Amino acid sequence: MLCPPYDVITPSERERLLARDPHNAVRLELPASTPAAATADDFARAARTLQGWISDGTLIRDERPMLYVYEQHFAAGDRTPRVARSFFCELRLEEYGPGSGVRPHEHTLGPAKEHRFQLLSATRAHLSPVLLLYEGDSAALLDELTAAARPEEALGPDGVGQRLWAIDPVLVPAARDLIAFAGARPLTIADGHHRYETALRYRDSPGTPAGADHVLALLFSAASGGLELEPWHRVIANVPDHATVLKTAGELFDAAPIASANELVGTIAGSKQAGIVGLWTRGGGSMLRIDQARMEAYLPANASEEVRRLDVSVLSGTLRRMIGASEAELTAQGRLTYTHDAREAVRRVEQSEADVCFLLRPTPVGQVLAVAAATDFMPPKSTYFHPKAATGLVFDPTF
């Protein structure tokens, strides 16, 4: 049975998945109620479960490396049907840096990487993939590969339809052509920086098996338009003076008062232009328009121009002035949380679970690629790619 990736599974969702099927992949992907609660015993139990499923035939290992074409059928934010096409493969690990074939675009946070490292070290298997983008249009090759055989089909998390084709590159030339096409230029990590950096650490740890030089990868064409890129909205608690936040925001930005939370959410969702941030507090809200010239003092001087002009960079740079603490400090204090659902962000404020939220527009895929090509990094929690790949379709053991 399939489950979502570990970082979007709530404790209640985990309990539901555990009760649903004794072979649900959540027993491997998230062996404790939350990543922070996991102990050495939990990781060891996940390793025993994996070995048990291999021994009893629940999981069957292919005789040689395969390519798995993957389709996800889902409804976009505007409710229109969408299909995201990609393929699973093994990707040889490379360090980041000039000339590397793998480019990151976002900084990562330590606790999540430690959880993934302990789980990978115990199970010695990549349980969920790193999501990467390659340049160019591979639609014709994917059409050829998916026309040749019947897929396995399932309904995955959030009602996303799943289709999977297992294809042997040794026997199918188009599969080899797809691998060569995708690997002809550097790949950009879209989602899964934690997993990739954890895999590097695991590779370099003493006593790891020979297969540790690869990571499980899911590759998408950046030209396909199948993936939906959503923002991470910022939700902040323990902000006692709402009026000062609104006043300071008005000094930093071109601020226009907003009458209701619904109007704010609708304006952000409907805007086709970058350079706006939504602000909602328990004392009202504003639409904030960015004047880049006024932001110079709040942006890191050593950042590339590609990073400096991002809405999320401007917000991160001005939080201390508006809230009295930086994004890193708010995170360390437990006052800052993130959600990709704008209505959920304002709901938390209106129901007094938080005091302030900032709503962002999605960062275009082209800007993500430009930041990565500039060997620079966006702030943490800058991008949310949807749909997430289901865990349980393909595992990649390193032993």
* pLDDT tens digits, 342-370: 999 999 999 999 999 999 999 889 899 99
Mean pLDDT of the chain: 94
- 226/76 Cα distance (integer angstroms): 10
The domains located in the chain, with CATH, are 6-229+385-397 (no CATH), 232-361 (3.30.1760)
* pLDDT tens digits, 379-389: 888 888 889 99
Alpha helix (H) residue ranges in the chain = 11-20, 26-29, 40-55, 110-123, 139-147, 173-182, 193-203, 242-252, 261-270, 292-295, 305-308, 311-323, 327-332, 342-350, 365-373
pLDDT band at residue 301 using 50, 70 and 90 as cut-offs: confident
> Span 86-100, mean pLDDT?
96
- B/e letters for 195-212, b = 16+ CB within 10 Å, e = fewer, are bbbbbbebeeeeebeeeb
State the pairing for strand pair 130-134/214-221: parallel
* pLDDT tens digits, 26-49: 999 999 999 999 999 999 999 999
Rounded (5°) CA angle 339-353-15: 60
At 379 the pLDDT is: 87
Q: Which residues contact 13 (CB under 8 A, 6 or more apart)?
A: 4
pLDDT band at residue 271 using 50, 70 and 90 as cut-offs: confident
